[in-house]
C-alpha cells in the first residue's frame, strides 16, 4: 500500500475511534499532528477510554498470622473530594486453605459512596466467588470479602471492579489480610497484580 494511503487510513481510523493527543507528540506524525503511524505510538497519544491511573505491583507483600487488613503498598490512587472514579483490580494472590484471604477497599480520610463487584475463588473447595454488585454508602471502607486460598506456592486471582465517589480528599486503598488467623503461613498479594482507575467527573 502506498505511504500516502497508509497514512490516510491510520489517520481516519484514529479520528473515528475518538483517540486524541494529550499534546503535540515529539514523534514524527507526518505533516498532521492528528495522524499517527503505529510505529510512532507512544504515551503522548491517548484515547477516550484511557485509564488515568495504571499500577502494576512490583513485589510480593505478605500478612502473616493476622486477620487485620493492611494497606497494599502499591495498589492505591489519590482522589479529591467529590470526584467519581471507575476502577478495576486484577489481583493475583497466594494463601493456604487454612488461612484463606480477605480484602476490602478503603479511603484514607472521610467516607465514600459507590458499588463494587468481584469474581474469584470461594473459600469452599472448587466453588466460585462472585458478586453481581454490592453498594456501599457513607462508609470509610467496604465490607471485607473472603476469598479462597489454593495452597502454599499456588496462585489464585480475583477480578474486582466498581464505581466510587470520594466525599473527602484522600487515597483510595486496596487492603488485605488472612481470613482465618493462622501462624506460620502468609496471605500474599503477588507482583504483577494490576490496578486501573479512571476519573469520570470532578
CATH number at residue 157: 2.60.120
- Whether residue 114 sits in one domain with residue 15: no
- Whether residue 57 sits in one domain with residue 41: no
- Whether residue 64 sits in one domain with residue 155: yes
Please calculate the CA angle 196-199-202 and round it to the nearest 5 degrees: 160
- Whether residue 11 sits in one domain with residue 83: no
- Whether residue 63 sits in one domain with residue 42: no
- Whether residue 138 sits in one domain with residue 170: yes
Q: Which residues pair with residue 128 across a beta bridge?
A: 121
User: What is the tens place of the pLDDT at every residue in 121-145?
Assistant: 888 876 889 998 999 999 999 999 9
- Whether residue 106 sits in one domain with residue 16: no
- Whether residue 132 sits in one domain with residue 38: no
170-177 vs 101-107, strand pairing mode: antiparallel
- Whether residue 126 sits in one domain with residue 184: yes
Domain count, the chain: 2
User: What is the tens place of the pLDDT at every residue in 41-55?
Assistant: 444 444 445 899 999
User: What is the tens place of the pLDDT at every residue in 157-182?
Assistant: 999 999 999 999 999 999 999 999 99
The boundaries of the domain holding residue 37 are 3-46
- Whether residue 12 sits in one domain with residue 59: no
What is the C-alpha to C-alpha distance for residues 94 and 176, in angstroms, rounded to an integer?
11
- Whether residue 157 sits in one domain with residue 88: yes
- Whether residue 105 sits in one domain with residue 13: no
Please give the model's pTM, rounded to 2 decimal places.
0.75
Amino acid at each position: 500500500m502506498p505511504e500516502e494511503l497508509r497514512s490516510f487510513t491510520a489517520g481516519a481510523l484514529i479520528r473515528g475511534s475518538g483517540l486524541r493527543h494529550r499534546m503535540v507528540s515529539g514523534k514524527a506524525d507526518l505533516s498532521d499532528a492528528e495522524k499517527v503511524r503505529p510505529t510512532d505510538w507512544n504515551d503522548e497519544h491517548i484515547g477516550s477510554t484511557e485509564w488515568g491511573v495504571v499500577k502494576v505491583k512490583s513485589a510480593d507483600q505478605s500478612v502473616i498470622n493476622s486477620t487485620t487488613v493492611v494497606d497494599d503498598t502499591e495498589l492505591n490512587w489519590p482522589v479529591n473530594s467529590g470526584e467519581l472514579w471507575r476502577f478495576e483490580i486484577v489481583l493475583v494472590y497466594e494463601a493456604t486453605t487454612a488461612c484463606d484471604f480477605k480484602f476490602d477497599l478503603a479511603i484514607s480520610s472521610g467516607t465514600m459512596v459507590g458499588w463494587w463487584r468481584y469474581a474469584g475463588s470461594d473459600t469452599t473447595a472448587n466453588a466460585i466467588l462472585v458478586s453481581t454488585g454490592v453498594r456501599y454508602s457513607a462508609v470509610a471502607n467496604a465490607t471485607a470479602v473472603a476469598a479462597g486460598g489454593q495452597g502454599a506456592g499456588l496462585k489464585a486471582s480475583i477480578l474486582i471492579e466498581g464505581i466510587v465517589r470520594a466525599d473527602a480528599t484522600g487515597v483510595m486503598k486496596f487492603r488485605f489480610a488472612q481470613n482465618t488467623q493462622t501462624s506460620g503461613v502468609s496471605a500474599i498479594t503477588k507482583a504483577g497484580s494490576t490496578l486501573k482507575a479512571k476519573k469520570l467527573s470532578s
